[in-house]
A and B are shown apart, each in its own frame.
Chain A
Amino acid sequence: MKNSRRLFLKSACALVVGASGYTVAQGPLGEAQQTTKKYALIHDETKCIGCDACSVACREVNNVPEGVTRLRIERKGPYGEYPEQYFRFTRHSCQHCEDTPCVKVCPTGAAYKDEATGIVSVDAWKCVGCQYCIAACPYQVRFINPVTKAADKCDFCKETRLKEGKLPACVSACPTQALTFGDLQDPDSQVVQVLKHTPNYRTKTELGTRPKLFRIGSQDGEVRL
């Protein structure tokens, strides 16, 4: 009697431990299997010339009304003394975070992360315009589209160019090829190759958002030896 009870307890414990171990092992794996692609973008600030060809193309392709923008190139400078002056350019657009503050706060489910591509998008018809996502986004890239009255932002041209198998409009438009777009899951993709071989950074990583917009810092530093 005693033995059988002990045996029962032992096997029950073993079962519980085994099952939990199995789920722990399966959890992230299962997720990875669901996400077939994980698109990312690299902005090479050493190549960017601030010509705004990217934002012009973005506006045209995605029908972004005047007054708002999904993509902006921020210009800082001029640094240095005339006539040897230079500027620094940084891209201001959705970072397609892995851990998405905007999706977390959305009460209607309009903001979502597409599991198949890793792209953070907005279902305009679900959006009620409460602007929680605009407040939550640490990168301040969201806005209310004055035409649709829904929250809007960069979606790597998911609904326009990616559907047709083309690169995002900004990537194609860049005259200096400062933008690299591709799948982080594919070890042979250009994105992975560039990230492996070039020092790069992301902004506000300390917030744990795990952004997928990588940047290659401009070479000219402010401190010179």
Chain B
Amino acid sequence: MSLFSKIAFCAVSISALLLLNIMPVKAEVNRLQINQDKCVKCHKRNGLMAGVHGNDALALTCQSCHGEKGKHPRQPSLIVGFSADSNTKVTAQVDSCSQCHEHDVLYQADWTHAVHSNKVGCANCHQLHSDSDPMMTLATEERSALCGKCHGITPKESDDEKL
């Protein structure tokens, strides 16, 4: 077997493995009830739900979190947006999550919930659409670094700062 054919064989087998791994997951996501919603017709790229909140057993719809469509997209509407550039007030974003998540339970899970509840939207840290929420697997170092992202003031000149 020449070197070229060896490389080609490896490439084919790796991509086949990847396809085998990804395809069923994608198909599964597409089959979820929430992803049959009419919103997905337009929001296929940014709207598909792969996370636990899309689980059929929860029977959530897009409207459960984002609110009623109203006159969207032709005219302004009261749709609750969670992205960083959303116009929705933080309190409205948090209220949406608070329909199910009680604040004292969240506090038990992590104390930082108590001090951010009316200052930062849940989606600033949590991601619901992706298949896993990065906050669920956060290492201690990453957690500290995340706090610094908002709370950090002008970084000191350098690590070698004089005494």
Residues of A within 8 A of B (CB): 49-53, 56, 75, 77-78, 82-87, 162, 164-167, 172-173, 175-177, 181-182
Residues of B within 8 A of A (CB): 103-104, 107, 111, 114-115, 117-118, 140-141, 143-145, 147-148, 151-153, 156, 159-163
Complex alpha-carbon distance, A85 and B111, angstroms: 11
Complex alpha-carbon distance, A164 and B163, angstroms: 10
Q: How many A-B residue pairs have CB under 8 A?
A: 68
A102 to chain B, nearest CB (A): 25
CB pair A85 B115 closer than 8 Å? yes
Given A82-B103, A176-B153, are A53 and B147 neighbors across the interface (CB < 8 Å)?
yes
CB pair B148 A87 closer than 8 Å? no
CB-contact partner of A175 in B114, B151, B163, under 8 A: B151
Q: Is the interface of B mostly helix, strand, loop or mixed?
A: helix
Complex contacts, A50 vs chain B, CB 8 Å: 111
Question: Which chain A residue shows the least CB distance to B91?
Answer: A83
CB pair B161 A172 closer than 8 Å? yes
CB pair B161 A177 closer than 8 Å? no
New A-B pairs, 17, CB < 8 Å, besides A51-B143, A84-B118, A85-B114? A49-B147, A49-B151, A52-B143, A53-B145, A56-B144, A77-B111, A78-B115, A82-B104, A82-B117, A85-B115, A87-B115, A165-B163, A172-B156, A172-B159, A173-B144, A175-B144, A176-B152
Given A51-B144, A172-B161, are A87 and B111 neighbors across the interface (CB < 8 Å)?
yes
CB pair B115 A56 closer than 8 Å? no
Complex contacts, B118 vs chain A, CB 8 Å: 83-84
Question: Which chain B residue shows the least CB distance to A57?
Answer: B144
Given A52-B143, A56-B144, are A166 and B163 neighbors across the interface (CB < 8 Å)?
yes
Interface centre among A50, A83, A166, A172 (most CB of B within 10 A): A83
CB pair B140 A52 closer than 8 Å? yes
Interface centre among B104, B118, B144 (most CB of A within 10 A): B144
Question: Which chain B residue shows the least CB distance to A54?
Answer: B144
A78 to chain B, nearest CB (A): 5
Complex contacts, A53 vs chain B, CB 8 Å: 144-145, 147-148
Complex contacts, B147 vs chain A, CB 8 Å: 49, 51, 53, 175
Complex contacts, A172 vs chain B, CB 8 Å: 156, 159, 161
Given A78-B111, A175-B151, are A56 and B140 neighbors across the interface (CB < 8 Å)?
yes
Complex contacts, A162 vs chain B, CB 8 Å: 163
A42 to chain B, nearest CB (A): 15
B77 to chain A, nearest CB (A): 26
Question: Which chain B residue shows the least CB distance to A183?
Answer: B163
B146 to chain A, nearest CB (A): 8
Question: Which chain A residue shows the least CB distance to B156?
Answer: A172
B156 to chain A, nearest CB (A): 7
CB-contact partner of B111 in A75, A83, A166, A175, under 8 A: A75
Complex contacts, B115 vs chain A, CB 8 Å: 78, 85-87
CB pair B151 A51 closer than 8 Å? yes
